[in-house]
Structure formats: C-alpha cells, structure tokens
Structure 1
Amino acid sequence: MNAATGTMEYTNKRERMLITPEGLAVPVTIASRGSRLGALVLDFVILFIALFVFQLVLMFVLGGLFEEAMNTANENISGAGEFLFIVLILVGFLARYGYFLSMELGPRGATYGKRIVGIRVAARNGGRLTPEAVIARNLLRDIELFMPLVFLMMAPSGEAGNFGIAGMIWFLIFMLFPFFNKDALRAGDIIAGTWVLEAPRTKLADALSTQGAAAKGSSEITGVRYEFGEAELSIYGEHELQTLERMLRDAQPEALAAVHETICRKIGWDPGAGDERAFLEAFYAQLRAKLEGDMRFGKRKANKFS
C-alpha cells in the first residue's frame, strides 16, 4: 500500500485484488499468455490421444464396418456404416465440448492441461463459476479458433479464395486479442465474465501462530470460549482458510471487522463487536483442524463451493 496515494502497489504486473461476494479482498495472479497457450495445446493433445485410442478400439471390435464408415465417399455404404459414421461425429463433438465443460465446472475449475501448468478459470466477480459462463467461453472458441482454421486449411488448395485471407486476418485478430488488454482476456472470457488465474499446487500453509483464542481456547478480553459446530465450519474450505490466515497475519482492524461480520452473518452468530480477533482466531484454528482431519480420510474441500 502506498501511504502517499492510498493505492495498492504490486511488484508483479499480473497481480490483482479479487473482491468476493462476502466482501473479502483476495490477492490473485493473472495467468501468463504462454501458460494459457501451453494448457490449450496440452488439452488438444489429450483429446487427440483419447479419440485415437477410441478409434483403435472401434477398429478392433468392428473391423470392416469401421473402415466403411470412414470411407464416406462410398455410395454403397450400408445403413450400419452410416449409423457408425454419425456416432463418430457425435463422439468427436461431445468429446471436444464435454471435456472442457465438465472439467471447468468441477471444483478446480481447470482442465487437465490447465492443472499441469498450474492455472484455473474463475469468475471475475469473485462468485461461483456458473454453467452459463463456462458454456459461453467454450462456444466462443469455435468462432475464435476453429472457424478461421478451417479457412486457413482451405487456402493452400485454392478452394477458399479470398476466404483464406479473411480467415488469416480473423485468426490473427482473435489470437492477438489477449495482448490487447492487461488481464490477457480472450473474447470468450469477456463475454462470459471470466479470467484465468494462476493456481499453483499448494498444501495447507504452516499453522498460524496465534496468542489469543486459537492458543488458549478462550478470549483474553471477554473470557468467552468460541466453539463451532460441523455445519458452521463446513461453510468454508482451504481457499477461505488461507485467506483468513493472511487477514490475521496482516492484522488490519478494518479488514478483520469486515471478515468477522461476514462469517457471523453466514453462520448466524451475533457475538457483538470488540472481540473480532479472538473470534476469528478460534474460527481459524477449528476450521483448520476440521480440514486437516478430513484430509486424513481422503476428503478435501478446496473452497466453499466444493
């Protein structure tokens, strides 16, 4: 924070501050353009390999019928061959869209390619990633990538004519789009209200060393002992735990008061003002203990939406 101007200064140009619907300010880092491209290439490699293996299995099981279905120029193709050809088209379509939609709607908000490079899709408003947003950003990929590529592949044969040139211009505009804005957003991100953030593999951070309620079990100010039940602790996951830890380490009174109010509202508590830090330390300690206990039994709650 710059004391003279009152503005936040970042050492990394890709750092941003995300405001959640609860009013929490969470620092995030925009994924680099290179990592996004790498993730896309990895995803298409994964899809290609999966479809190739699927075709090999069909060839082994169906033999000549598969070859007949692939030879669409054959006027004497049988009804079974036509049906199989339609199935292959549907499988390709569902694989392309189903892969991205199902993976990005999952708790991690990332495909296998994104997970490998350590990035994820998130809503820019700090809320949950909705199906509408994921569908919109992936449907736009056809306009951004696949349609201009079709024109470009037709250009060398001379069949496309001016369409080949138009396709190249189209392709360049959309491929360079992330370089025209500071958040590296592609057109699909702008339409869907999403962005892609760094999501490095992390484990729960080292436990926060506290002196108050978390260490002694009760408040030094009021003597109240804060104990939370399973339902109350289940509202948050690892991401919120780490955010709360950063808040306690920074010890900004205004931020702690805002977080205290948000948590109390969500769990239905009204402990009053003046003992915010003790309340938050107790909540932090008990939430951490719950999450670590769940992890021992193979249950992991990445965030409040999991």
Structure 2
Amino acid sequence: MADKPHRTLQREFITSEGVDLRLTLASAGERAGAFLIDAAIIFGAFIALVLLTALIMAGRATGSEYLFSIVLLVFFFLRSGYFVAFELGSRAATPGKRAMRLRVVARDGGRLSGEAVVARNALREIEVGIPFLFLLGNAFSSDGSDTWTNYAALAWVALFTFFPLFNRDRMRVGDLIAGTWVVRTPRRKLGVSVVHAHVEPSFVFTEEQLAAYGEFELQKLEEVLRREDELSLIVVAQAIQRRIGWTGGGDDMEFLQAYYAALCQRLERNMLFGKRRANKYEQA
C-alpha cells in the first residue's frame, strides 16, 4: 500500500531514442522542499548583498535611493537567473532540486530547451514574485495601503502556490505553459573514473556487438560517463543495448563502463593492424 502514491505519479516517458524511462513525477511536498532550499539560498545571497550595500553607503547622505533601486534590480536578476542558469545545466536542476533528487524534463521526451526553461521560470515571477514584492512594499509603506488589494495579492499567490495540488501531474502553471515536468531522478552511485572503472566480469561482448560503434561514438560515450547525468546514462545504455541486441541485463552504469572498456580495447587492437573505424556508419 505504501507504494500506491508512487505508482499514481508514474508516467510513460518516451525519449527521442524510443526508450521508455517510466519516470516518477515529483510530489507537491518534494517540490515545495526543493523550492524552500532554493529560496533560502537566494535570500541568503540577497541579505549579503544588502549588508554589502549598507557598508558602502555608511556615512553617505546622497545616492542611497539610487543604490537601493539597483539592489532591487540585482535581486530580480538573482532570483530569475538562479533558476534558469541551473536548469540549463546538464543536470537540469537547481541545488534545491538536486538535494531532493529532482530534475526538470520536457514532457514530449525531447531535449529540454532553453526556451522552455526561460518560460517556466518567467511565469514564476507572475505567480509569486511580483505579488510578493507588492505585499512587501505595502508592509513597509508609511501612508497605509488598501486592505482589499493586499487580500487580492495574497489570494493570487495562494492560487498559484497550490495549483500543483489540483492537477494530476503536479505541475505549476509555468510547467503547463513550458511543456515540462519535474521528476524524481534514479538513485545511483556515481563518481567512478571512466578510465579506471572496475568492469564486472559478467559483461562479455561479442565481436559483432562491439563492431556496432566506432571512434566517434566512443568519444560521445566517454562524455556521457564523465558528465554523470542519470537520465543520459539510462537513455544511452538502453539505446546501445537495443542496437547490439544485449539481453544480459545489469546496471546501466556498469554496462556502459564495460562496453566503453571493451570498445576501447577493440579499436586500439584494430589500429595496430591498420584498421580504423571513424563512426558506426563506416564498414567495420
């Protein structure tokens, strides 16, 4: 029974290589936890910025209003750029999401585009950022503020904050517009050197299986192994297994390390005899 909530969040995810990863969507609680971690980091940086500004302006009678405006502008780019920069990285996740073992993916199974990342995070400003700053400004206003306007801003924030609870895919409005999901990433022990990786003896490949790829694919495989991106490892492993007809099973990371080592040995051995294969399209 404990697994039932997890099963309800599982979704078919067909990659461009035709591999079904069967991803599990992040729960609303996991997403909230990731956001709180990221918010703490952003506000910590903002407080440091404010303290630095206060030190710079200490003893100065003029120019403080301009510097304060600059601080607010920097804060806007900080909170917006923070999410975009991290989600455009190879892990497609902010530090908060990485701590909660989450990442962003495109719902259509394709590559996560920069446009989608920018769109989903631009919507966050409309969902939460602008109303929050409005409320904060009214709280420190000396001439009073319209109570009903504050209530409207609070209702706006609450509507978008709890939106993931009212759709089966736990999406923010930003995810809905950008065509993205936030999903759990597989737990995996990484950090193994590509060159010195221990190869399990259970992985034995035939000459035909090794002949499926050449030097170009070997380099790309090494890039995937060094980058240590969980979803890329799964996709590449299953794509190679399908191409070479592998039925031996095994852990994806261990399979790729074993295939990489065996392919290295084959290509080096062939080069000694003057045989060289640049890529999978050349004859072996």
Q: Distance in 2 between matches of 1:43 and 1:148?
A: 19
What percent of counterpart residues are identical? 38
- 1:121-175 residue CA offsets vs partner (Å, 9 max, x unmatched): 1111122221111111111112211333356554898622432332233223212
In structure 2, which of residues 75, 86, 90 is the aligned counterpart of residue 92 of structure 1? 75
Displaced runs of 4 or more, over 6 A: 155-158, 205-209, 288-291
Question: Counterparts of 1:1-306 in structure 2 under 5 Å?
Answer: 12-65=7-60, 68=61, 77-78=62-63, 81-150=64-133, 154=138, 159-203=145-189, 214-219=203-208, 226=211, 228-236=213-221, 237=224, 239-243=231-235, 259-260=242-243, 276-277=245-246, 284=256, 285-287=258-260
Cα contact 1:119–1:200 (8 A) shared by 2: no
Q: Distance in 1 between matches of 2:47 and 2:131?
A: 24
Structure 1 unaligned spans of 5+: 1-8, 69-76, 249-255, 261-274, 292-306
Q: Distance in 2 between matches of 1:11 and 1:44?
A: 26
- 1:184-205 residue CA offsets vs partner (Å, 9 max, x unmatched): 0010000011110112552259
- With over 3 angstroms needed to count, the CA separation of the structure-2 counterparts of 1:142 and 1:208, relative to structure 1, is same
Q: Distance in 1 between matches of 2:47 and 2:139?
A: 27
Cα shift at 1:49: 1.0
Letter in 1 for 2:92: G
Greater mean alpha carbon deviation, residues 84-93 or residues 137-146:
84-93
Greater mean alpha carbon deviation, residues 9-18 or residues 29-38:
9-18
Cα shift at 1:246: 6.2
What is the SS of the residue equivalent to 1:120? strand
Superposition CA RMSD, Å: 3.7
Cα contact 2:19–2:239 (8 A) shared by 1: no
Cα contact 1:241–1:288 (8 A) shared by 2: no
- 1:231-277 residue CA offsets vs partner (Å, 9 max, x unmatched): 213445253443465689xxxxxxx6xx42xxxxxxxxxxxxxx733
What is the SS of the residue equivalent to 1:64? coil
Q: Distance in 2 between matches of 1:21 and 1:130?
A: 14
What is the SS of the residue equivalent to 1:22? coil
Q: Distance in 1 between matches of 2:187 and 2:119?
A: 27
TM-score (norm 1): 0.65
Letter in 2 for 1:242: I
- With over 3 angstroms needed to count, the CA separation of the structure-2 counterparts of 1:151 and 1:54, relative to structure 1, is closer
What is the SS of the residue equivalent to 1:12? helix
- With over 3 angstroms needed to count, the CA separation of the structure-2 counterparts of 1:166 and 1:31, relative to structure 1, is same
- 1:88-126 residue CA offsets vs partner (Å, 9 max, x unmatched): 122212211111111111111111111111111111112
Q: Distance in 1 between matches of 2:124 and 2:183?
A: 18
Q: Distance in 1 between matches of 2:234 and 2:211?
A: 20
- With over 3 angstroms needed to count, the CA separation of the structure-2 counterparts of 1:90 and 1:162, relative to structure 1, is closer
- With over 3 angstroms needed to count, the CA separation of the structure-2 counterparts of 1:130 and 1:243, relative to structure 1, is closer
What is the SS of the residue equivalent to 1:196? strand
